[in-house]
Structure 1
């Protein structure tokens, strides 16, 4: 079957059937056929080549990992939808992170008010505690991204890990700070205006 796939362009149905049977040649054909389209789809929404490549790679990893259980009718549409979904999740996580640091910065600037000073101090302590409780590698990845400002590609190269691992660690780190972000936003909304 691999020879037939490389010799004659296969239909989506043929590729999906072969993929479900763990045919690596079918996966390679799908990858080669759709990589550029998916990269352009992700890049249009993110505007960042490294992040777009991470998203596309994640989609293909998931396709391979779930190859035996996926029920895909239209491969191209499925892959593009998967990319859009990953992009929206990435944007949402980034907004959570940006919002947290924006409000933390605002609190720092307005910390002259006694209530805000107490609030800021408490939140800062909680944030430091969350960072201290993170596994060492996760905290290192988080610091390199959000303190040093490195891209996921630069972090992966510096720590000798994959960009996928960097992304996973960043997502887990952001999940850890969601609770404190929620508390901060509630207190800011209910605080003095």
Structure 2
């Protein structure tokens, strides 16, 4: 039997490699086939060992490729499903963000003019309180007070919406 292994091992690996395209996998397959051959040969006399080995290696190689392809298809299917879920979530997130922005800026428009302008300059343009005070010819403490007043009014205006937004975050995130 050892002679059989030495005689056919390399050519069987080559035979398997043509099916699998993977050297290490081919070597594993050939070794497994030899183990099966020795197990079968104890109980049943195999009349044409060379033919049996080549056929067994070929079939095992095909099975291995089929398993690998099934696994790869499953991975691709999972990737597609995860991307679809992520895309769906991103559409929901965009919808929530746009609705939140619409509600927020719709309520900013309800603020008194000076307060509204300070909120816009501070949060949209990202200007510091000092810069806003310079541009509007106001004292810095007036800017701070108006900003606090604006945020407080927005909290009151958006209180009923806050519960809805928290619920949306709980559901979608």
TM-score by length of 2: 0.48
Structure having the higher Rg: 2
Structure with the largest fraction of helix: 2
